[in-house]
């Protein structure tokens, strides 16, 4: 059950504990608000972001620069390079992949725009939590989208002590477990507070706090235990490898303390995490994130080096992490950007590696499918725009996404506007 639990897949639903929470999505910061871009549009040659031509667009790169895409975070070089006279052609919308066109239908927008929010689907309802409205304002309530009549409603408050972004979140189909996360706007510190929401009574209860707080850890229910792993450590940047679990039943912890489990091979926040056919999967993510500027009274976000990756890890009976085929490209900020449909996880948008020249964050405009039986990845479609920290649901043949932060336009994949828009497309997967 879990995030999905559509009726069409009641069998699947039992197998899938969905959840995940990724919460975080981060990177809000400078880019978020800096409305004026350092990116010089004159350098970009046309690009209509058409699927067939997406890799044929051009960007000018100095020919005497042999820098790798993973070059260190010396942002200043970007300006120098942009001004360089001697140029050659490189892919413009960095790393857009060829993908089929999908027909998207615009639905009613969410009551508020949200970046780094969290979402859980239970049957025909999508519960949407928290998130930044602006870098200086965070939401502390829940909105609900009803897939049956395609309307928003049912707003209610979160507990005062609950984190506002970078949450870990998962459901068993009735109770929603809410783990740790960032408390407050900008790049404030995390809380270890953990809660459970009974969606039938709308009542919240406390749970034992995590041993230490984390930002956007991978979170799932598996074999009767709430698992929490990875994420960023207390400074928001350093990847955590720790993995804990707590036995839970019907919205209650049935142990007093979290238990240490096998650490995850690679740490960091903003990953998709699912349980399917009794196996636990952790997909994508990043190492590093924005941090609070030292001494800033408002904990102003300041950008740090990040590495986005495409790694996929799986735990089964052996309780040893196995490495599975990687995503078609590195992808992060996808903790609530997925749905389980038939035997696949479908992932919507995200962020990929930074632009090789401008070093700016690059958003993802594709929908990915990972067939959990065949372990094959495919790129199954294009989004209306590139967008990160989407909140995704699936209901009766329709794939929905809402919220997040979208790109500056077809020719500029850097993040700009925080959105509340809701879109859907009719999904048809190949098996
Ligand atoms: C675009 O991508 C396709 C598929 O990967 C490839 O066959 C084609 O050569 C690429 N075109 C350009 C101009 O790079
Ligand atoms: C750039 O790298 C290529 C291939 O590694 C090499 O052949 C070329 O000489 C390098 N150019 C410069 C300017 O370093
Ligand atoms: C969702 O919409 C349907 C159709 O209008 C309605 O019957 C149902 O009560 C709604 N669910 C909730 C929880 O509001
Ligand atoms: C899921 O599988 C069923 C049965 O094979 C099929 O009819 C349906 O179209 C599939 N759903 C999607 C979204 O592809």
Is 149's C-beta closer than 6 angstroms to any atom of ligand 3?
Answer: yes
Tens digits of residue pLDDT in 389-413: 999 999 999 999 999 999 999 989 9
* Number of alpha helices (DSSP H) and beta strands (DSSP E) in the chain: 3, 34
24 in Cβ contact with 336 (< 8 Å): no
- For the beta carbon of residue 277, count every other beta carbon within 10 angstroms: 11
Q: Is residue 262 part of a domain?
A: yes
Report the candidate in 54, 49, 46, 47 with the shortest Cα–Cα distance to residue 98: 54
Which ligand gives the minimal distance to the CA of 150? 3
Q: Is residue 394 part of a domain?
A: yes
Is 70's C-beta closer than 6 angstroms to any atom of ligand 3?
Answer: no
Number of domains making up the chain: 1
Q: Is residue 105 part of a domain?
A: yes
Is 55's C-beta closer than 6 angstroms to any atom of ligand 1?
Answer: yes
Beta strands in 172-305 (DSSP E): 175-182, 190-198, 203-207, 218-222, 225-229, 243-249, 252-253, 259-260, 272-276, 279-283, 286-287, 291-292, 301-302
First-to-last alpha carbon distance for the chain, in angstroms, is 21
Q: Which residues of the chain have pLDDT under 50?
A: 1-2, 4-88, 92
Name every residue whose Cβ is closer than 8 Å to that of residue 238 and which is 6 or more positions away in sequence: 232
Nearest atom in ligand 3 to the alpha carbon of residue 148 is 2
Q: Which residue range is the domain that position 302 belongs to?
A: 7-34+98-426
Ligand 1 centroid distance, CA of 52 (Å): 9
Testing ligand 1's pocket by substitution, the residue of 50, 55, 366, 378 carrying the most ligand atoms inside 8 A of its CB is 55
Tens digits of residue pLDDT in 63-116: 333 343 333 333 434 343 444 444 445 554 577 999 999 999 999 999 999 999
Q: Write the burial class of residue 211 (CB in 10 Å: 0-12 exposed, 13-18 middle, 19+ buried).
A: middle
In whole angstroms, give the CA distance from residue 231 to residue 272: 11
Q: What is the pLDDT of residue 316?
A: 96
In whole angstroms, give the CA distance from residue 246 to residue 253: 7
Q: Is residue 123 part of a domain?
A: yes
Which ligand gives the minimal distance to the CA of 342? 4
Ligand 4 centroid distance, CA of 8 (Å): 9
In whole angstroms, give the CA distance from residue 270 to residue 12: 25
Q: Is residue 416 part of a domain?
A: yes
In whole angstroms, give the CA distance from residue 288 to residue 272: 17
Q: Is residue 49 part of a domain?
A: no
Q: What is the pLDDT of residue 77?
A: 40
Testing ligand 1's pocket by substitution, the residue of 98, 99, 328 carrying the most ligand atoms inside 8 A of its CB is 98
Residues with CB under 6 A from ligand 2: 64, 66
Q: Is residue 159 part of a domain?
A: yes
Q: What is the pLDDT of residue 430?
A: 85
Beta strands in 103-241 (DSSP E): 105-107, 118-122, 125-129, 132-134, 137-138, 141-146, 151-157, 168-171, 175-182, 190-198, 203-207, 218-222, 225-229
Q: What is the pLDDT of residue 11?
A: 43
Identify the CATH number of the domain in which residue 262 sits.
2.120.10.80
Q: What is the pLDDT of residue 385?
A: 97
Q: What is the pLDDT of residue 356?
A: 86
pTM: 0.79
Is 98's C-beta closer than 6 angstroms to any atom of ligand 1?
Answer: yes
Q: What Cα–Cα distance (Å) separates residue 184 from each residue in 132, 169, 190?
A: 9, 18, 8
Ligand 1 centroid distance, CA of 56 (Å): 7
Q: Is residue 88 part of a domain?
A: no
Question: Which tokens sit at 267?
Answer: 């740490």
Testing ligand 2's pocket by substitution, the residue of 62, 63, 66, 90 carrying the most ligand atoms inside 8 A of its CB is 66
């Amino acid at each position: 059950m879990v995030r999905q639990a559509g009726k069409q897949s009641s069998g699947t639903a039992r197998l899938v504990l969905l959840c995940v929470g990724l919460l975080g999505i981060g990177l809000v910061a400078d880019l978020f608000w800096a409305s004026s871009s350092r990116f010089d549009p004159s350098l970009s040659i046309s690009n209509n972001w058409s699927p067939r031509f997406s890799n044929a667009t051009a960007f000018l790169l100095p020919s005497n620069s042999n820098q790798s895409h993973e070059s260190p975070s010396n942002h200043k070089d970007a300006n120098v390079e942009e001004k360089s006279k001697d140029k050659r052609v490189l892919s413009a919308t960095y790393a857009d992949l060829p993908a089929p066109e999908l027909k998207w239908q615009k639905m009613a927008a969410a009551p508020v725009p949200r970046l780094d929010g969290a979402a859980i689907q239970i049957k025909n309802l999508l519960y949407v939590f928290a998130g930044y409205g602006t870098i200086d304002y965070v939401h502390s309530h829940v909105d609900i989208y009803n897939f049956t009549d395609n309307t928003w409603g049912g707003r209610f408050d979160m507990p005062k002590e609950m984190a506002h972004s970078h949450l870990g979140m998962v459901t068993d189909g009735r109770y929603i477990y809410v783990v740790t996360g960032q408390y407050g706007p900008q790049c404030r510190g995390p809380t270890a507070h953990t809660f459970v929401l009974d969606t039938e009574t709308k009542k919240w209860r406390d749970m034992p706090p995590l041993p230490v707080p984390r930002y956007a850890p991978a979170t799932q229910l598996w074999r009767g235990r709430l698992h929490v792993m990875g994420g960023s450590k207390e400074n928001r940047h350093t990847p955590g490898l720790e993995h804990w679990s707590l036995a839970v039943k019907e919205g209650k912890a049935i142990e007093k303390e979290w238990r240490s489990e096998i650490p995850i091979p690679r740490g960091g926040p903003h990953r998709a995490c699912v349980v399917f056919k009794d196996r636990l999967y952790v997909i994508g993510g990043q190492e590093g994130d924005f941090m609070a500027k030292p001494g800033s009274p408002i904990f102003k976000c300041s950008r740090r080096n990040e590495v986005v990756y495409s790694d996929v890890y799986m735990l089964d009976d052996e309780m040893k992490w196995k490495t599975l085929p990687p995503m078609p490209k590195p992808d992060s900020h996808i903790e609530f950007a997925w749905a389980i449909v038939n035997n696949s996880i479908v992932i919507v948008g995200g962020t990929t590696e930074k632009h090789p020249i401008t070093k700016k964050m690059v958003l993802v405009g594709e929908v990915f499918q990972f067939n959990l039986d065949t372990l094959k990845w495919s790129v199954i479609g294009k989004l209306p725009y590139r967008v990160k920290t989407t909140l995704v649901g699936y209901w009766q043949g329709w794939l929905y996404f809402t919220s997040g932060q979208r790109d500056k336009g077809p020719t500029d994949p850097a993040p700009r506007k925080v959105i509340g828009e809701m879109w859907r497309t009719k999904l048809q997967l190949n098996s």
